[in-house]
Amino acid sequence: MANQIPHVDYLELGDKPHLVANECTSCGARFFDRRNACAKCFKNDFKKVAISTDGILKSFTIVAFAAPGVPVPFVAGIIDCGGTSVRGNVINTEPTPEKVTLGMKVRLTTYSLGTDDEGTEAIGFGFEPA
């Protein structure tokens, strides 16, 4: 859809939404932010690589107390997506230690974050149990 915008520029929308990293062409280190140079090898040539949408939850916390305006509770996690670590919330499941466990399999999913005055819809991502 033309009037959609991703929450962050490393989320690629379309038929199969996925994350895209900047990969250093010299050493292979991957980053999600805008780069000035590679933090590992100091070179500055990068290419875009698609990140696997399937992953393993390697750490999480259930945030019960957050900054004003941030709805709680929510699950913040670190997901190992085929060897690349990704930061994201675990969604579409109850935010409890019974439902969310270390090592659980998750997959990327997207959801609407709302629409601005010009009718553009922001699309966010999270990870749901697979």
Partner 1 sequence: MASDDIWILGIAMTKFGKHSDKDIVDLGSEAAIAALADAGVTMADIGILAAGNLMGAGAGFGQQLQKQIGQTGIPVYNVANACATGATALRTAIMAVKSGEARMGLAVGAEKLAGAGLLGGGGVSKKDGNKFEPRGRFGSVLPTDGRIGTDTMPGTFAQVGMEYGHKYGGVSFELFAKISEKNHAHSVLNPMAAYQKRFTLDEIMNDMMIAYPNTRPMCSANCDGAAAAVVTSGEVLRTLSKEQQRRAIKVSASVLTTDPYEEACQILPDVNTLTRNAAKIAYEQAGVSPSDLDLVELHDCFATAELVHYDNLMLCPEGGAVDFFMSGATWRDGSMPVNVSGGLESKGHPIAATGIANIWEVCHHLRNEAGDRQIKDAKVGLAHVIGLGSACGIHILERSGL
- Footprint on this chain of partner 1 (rule: CB under 8 A): 5-10, 29, 31-34, 39-40, 58-72, 74, 76-78, 83-89, 97, 102-103, 113, 116-118, 120, 122, 124-125
Q: What angle do CA 120, 126, 130 make, to 5 degrees?
A: 135
Per DSSP (E only), the strands in 25-72 are 30-31, 46-50, 54-63
Q: Which is nearer to partner 1, 14 or 69 (CB)?
A: 69
Taking the least distance from each CB to partner 1, the nearer of 50 and 99 is 99
CA distances from 12 to 4, 91, 127, 129 (A): 11, 19, 15, 21
State both tokens at 9.
């520029």
Say which residues have a Cβ less than 8 Å from residue 66's Cβ, sequence separation at least 6.
Answer: 72, 74
Instruction: Provide the minimum distance between the beta carbon of 30 and partner 1 in the complex, in angstroms, as a whole number.
Output: 8
- Considering the complex, state which of residue 17 and residue 124 has its C-beta at the smaller distance from partner 1: 124
**Least Cβ distance, residue 10 to partner 1 (angstroms):** 7
Give min distance, CB of 89 to partner 1, in A: 7
Distance CA 33, CA 22 (A): 8
Shortest Å, Cβ 32 to partner 1: 7
State which residue, 15 or 119, has the beta carbon closest to partner 1: 119
